[in-house]
Amino acid sequence: MTEPAWKSPTDARAEFRGGLRVPTAGWCAGWTQANLIAVPRALAYDMLLYAQRNPRPCPVLDVSDPGVVSTRLFGGDLRTDLPAYRIFERGELVGEVADARAVWRDDLVAFLIGCSFTFEAALAEAGVTLRHQEMGVNVPMYRTSLRTLPAGRLGGPLVVSMRPVPASLVATAVKVTARYPAVHGAPVHVGDPRTIGVTDLDAPDFGDPVEVRPGELPVFWACGVTPQAAVMESKPDFAIGHAPGHMGITDARDSEYLVP
């Protein structure tokens, strides 16, 4: 069987459509992964404006037209081809499903938002070990005390992902990821998590905890789960997101998002 890293987006999406439910870090090397947030057309302007005002956590890669379940960048079926989905009603998480067809609505507009998994290969090449991949778990993600800029009915906290980085490689990690502004870019914070309102690294709000070893600093990147946190706080009638860490794998190449 092909290793996840060497699968094509088409094959990976077929496996997820068939029911496989795993975090996608390390899958489909070289292919861009994306966060999903789908909202009714009546809320789509607010969501797109929210993303425009918060480009670090919400870099929009693509937007579906209402009633269409694929996009230019995503050749699969947005309702089935991610490993898992989260359903929100009035801001409450009411379910997590592997197939969203039963709850998908014709008026939904789907936003594909850049994901930091895209620069993980470049980090690894630069010598930064990805602890969550090493441990075989989901990347840890945290709600911070930093606020995003609101737009219309949407507002909420900044969500970040965290990777431990040896002190000697922090500058490298910054430089490598700064070259990918369309997938969150450089870190938003390095070091003491309390400064950004994260009190316990071992209790992430999304994903799994990972070990931060002596000599390592926790490094935080803006995260595409931020729109889901806005949905939870702002309580629109209905929204569907990906299960954090369980991304949509697109037909776009990581290299397209690399700044020269």
Residues that bind its own copies (CB under 8 A): 44-45, 48-49, 52-53, 60, 63, 178, 181, 259-260
DSSP 125: H
Min dist CB 255 to its own copies, Å, is: 15
Q: CA-CA-CA-CA torsion for 82, 23, 192, 231, nearest 10 degrees?
A: 30
Nearer to its own copies, 46 or 120 (CB): 46
Nearer to its own copies, 48 or 232 (CB): 48
Nearer to its own copies, 18 or 66 (CB): 66
Nearer to its own copies, 95 or 181 (CB): 181
Both structure tokens of 168: 């000697």
Both structure tokens of 120: 């993980």
- Whole-angstrom Cα distance, residue 85 to residue 174? 31
- Whole-angstrom Cα distance, residue 163 to residue 176? 14
Query: What does each C-alpha distance from 135 to 15, 122, 131 come to in angstroms?
Result: 22, 19, 6
Min dist CB 55 to its own copies, Å, is: 10
The amino acid that residue 171 corresponds to is A
Min dist CB 231 to its own copies, Å, is: 18
Min dist CB 140 to its own copies, Å, is: 28
